[in-house]
Structure 1
Amino acid sequence: MIAGRVLVLAALLVSVGVQAEPLPSGTSFLSEELQARQADEAANPGMLWVDEGARLWATPQGATGKACASCHGADAASMRGVAVRYPAVDAESSDLLNLEGRINLCRTRHQEAEPYAYETDQLLGLTAFVARQSFGMPVQVETGGAAAPFYAAGEAFFHRRQGQLNLSCAQCHDDNAGRSLRGDTISYGLGNGYPAYRLEWQSVGSLQRRLRSCSYGVRAVQFDYGSSDYLALELYLAKRAEGVAIETPAIRR
């Protein structure tokens, strides 16, 4: 009787969109060897980008001659818990920003410096460094209020069939999560480890790069880096990752 009630409750939670427990991180689909490599700071190649971010954090930038550390402190302790809240809506501009967008906004608004381009070592490094300060903390983004229309757009994107293969994100990362595809295991598509070191790239890359790769894989339009479509999708994926720990820089295949 109790077991039956639990199943009914779980079904009700799913029907109203409430996640009973966090989805498994992509790390859980890695081999034990790769999991150990990710956990070892001396062996995780992504830490090279974190180190670059630490250097940039302390380096004066732009016309103001200010470093990130000038406002936020040399040890970056003030960044603890920041990454778990992104993407988020900027109150001043009403724009949805991911962590990369927030860093670039700080550069233009407070340092009077040019924004870094996506996939540069500078932006990847600073993003990885800031995200690393929240390592182990659960993702917790805001999807109500000003963020609600962005979240709705991201959810629609996730469930919309796209490309010549006529596939949606949900068909892979919900319906077939845990199954094998071309020698790899399909994950739930969470972004809690990004920027991440992907073996296929032999480099650290942003979640936006991964999304563009997915679009390419289903032969759909690859939107520009920082596009509203991918930003909205990032917010939806972050909500899916609610309660999952930040793992940046994760290792992915």
Structure 2
Amino acid sequence: MGPPPPPGFAWSPSPRGGRDTSPAAPHRTSAERVRALTTIFALLLASWPALAADIAATERRSDTGLLAPETRAMQDDDTANPGMLTVLDGAEAWSRAPGPNVPACSGCHGDAPASMSGVAARYPAWSRDAGGPVDVAGQVNLCRERRQNATPLASDSPELLALTGYVAHQSRGLPISPPEDPRLEPARERGRALFGRRMGQLDLACAQCHDDQWGRRLSGATIPQAHPTGYPIYRLEWQAVGSLQRRLRGCLTGIRAEPFPAGAPEYVELELFLMSRARGLPIETPAVRP
């Protein structure tokens, strides 16, 4: 059951989070509600055990298993999955040159279903051009700069999401297979450390929820293992397709931590670790999530 809430605080059971409408605090300000919620989280965390080990390979589960039946049906039906519109945009961009006298993506890589099959399952990967690890979006922008003489696309822009979604879609159903490249290990270990680091005003680490408490309920929702199997994903909350970096920024904001700047290396380091943590699970792009 966990510890009781602090005196004078009433928790709303509304599935959307609700608000405190109890007679005990009818005029509570936003700042007071924030302090009360922070106190509740602190009390809950005090009752949680110390960080556990990584999730065993035999216990790894895609977050798809937690979806409501209607959301799962939406994801599984390409004619109903709204993320497929972004994939179709990506197919068009794949064959369109970004400027005169430069090749389209297809000009170098040919037919994407053949040349890009399995690529997303092996990223982030080491890039000689970048001198470090890059994710799929980073590789798309490197190709634009170095091969197409084009301006890099903005993070989470529709154009970049379309191309990354199209590339990742070519690996759908294939198992995540992180590269065994020793040059990636320092960045992967930094990602592991970030996943286990307490951050923000709520003093929470990613691992406290997604390693230690997965499968339990918090605020009316089941805590997932948080594997990056379906990015870019369509989130019903966003009513749009978004990247893993956008989701990580949302998590940081949720624990009241300062998000890293867009495109910061910390995001790629976290993805490196998360992809290793999800080894063997199938790519699901474009996934649908609440």
Structure with the larger RCO, 1 or 2 (CA within 8 Å, 6+ apart)? 1
Q: Does 1:191 pair with 2:228? A: yes
Q: Which runs of 4+ in 1 moved over 3 A?
A: 17-20
| SS of equivalent to 1:21 | helix
Among 211, 224, 240, the alignment partner of 2:277 is: 240
- The one-letter code sitting in structure 2 at the alignment partner of 1:129 is Y
| SS of equivalent to 1:125 | helix
Q: How many residues are paired up?
A: 239
Aligned to 1:208: 245
Structure 2 unaligned blocks of 5 or more: 1-51
The answer to which of 132-141 and 19-28 deviates more is 19-28
* Contact 1:22–1:242 (Cα < 8 Å) also in 2: no
Q: Does 1:119 pair with 2:145? A: no
2-side partners of 1:93 and 1:64: how far apart?
A: 25
* Contact 1:154–1:235 (Cα < 8 Å) also in 2: yes
> CA-to-partner distance for each residue in 1:105-131, whole Å, 9 max, x for gaps?
111111110010011110001000000
Q: Does 1:79 pair with 2:116? A: yes
* TM-score for the superposition, normalised by structure 1: 0.90
Among 33, 37, 51, the alignment partner of 2:74 is: 37
Matches within 5 A, 1:71-150: 71-142=108-179, 144-150=181-187
* TM-score for the superposition, normalised by structure 2: 0.79
Structure 1 unaligned blocks of 5 or more: 1-13
| SS of equivalent to 1:93 | coil
Aligned to 1:10: none
- Asked which structure has the greater CA Rg, the reply is 2
2-side partners of 1:248 and 1:87: how far apart?
A: 16
* Contact 2:129–2:142 (Cα < 8 Å) also in 1: no
- The one-letter code sitting in structure 1 at the alignment partner of 2:131 is S
- State the 1:21 CA deviation: 2.6
Aligned to 1:250: 287
- State the 1:32 CA deviation: 1.6
* Contact 2:217–2:223 (Cα < 8 Å) also in 1: yes
2-side partners of 1:133 and 1:226: how far apart?
A: 24
Aligned to 2:260: 223
* Contact 2:191–2:270 (Cα < 8 Å) also in 1: yes
Aligned to 1:3: none
The answer to which of 220-229 and 203-212 deviates more is 220-229
> CA-to-partner distance for each residue in 1:147-194, whole Å, 9 max, x for gaps?
010011000000000000000000010111112222322111111111
* Contact 2:63–2:225 (Cα < 8 Å) also in 1: yes
2-side partners of 1:143 and 1:184: how far apart?
A: 35
2-side partners of 1:198 and 1:20: how far apart?
A: 27
* Contact 2:55–2:211 (Cα < 8 Å) also in 1: no
Aligned to 1:157: 194
Aligned to 2:97: 60
1-side partners of 2:159 and 2:222: how far apart?
A: 31
- The one-letter code sitting in structure 2 at the alignment partner of 1:163 is G
- The one-letter code sitting in structure 2 at the alignment partner of 1:221 is E
- What is the RMSD of the two structures over their aligned residues, measured on CA atoms? 1.6
| SS of equivalent to 2:58 | coil
* Contact 1:159–1:169 (Cα < 8 Å) also in 2: yes
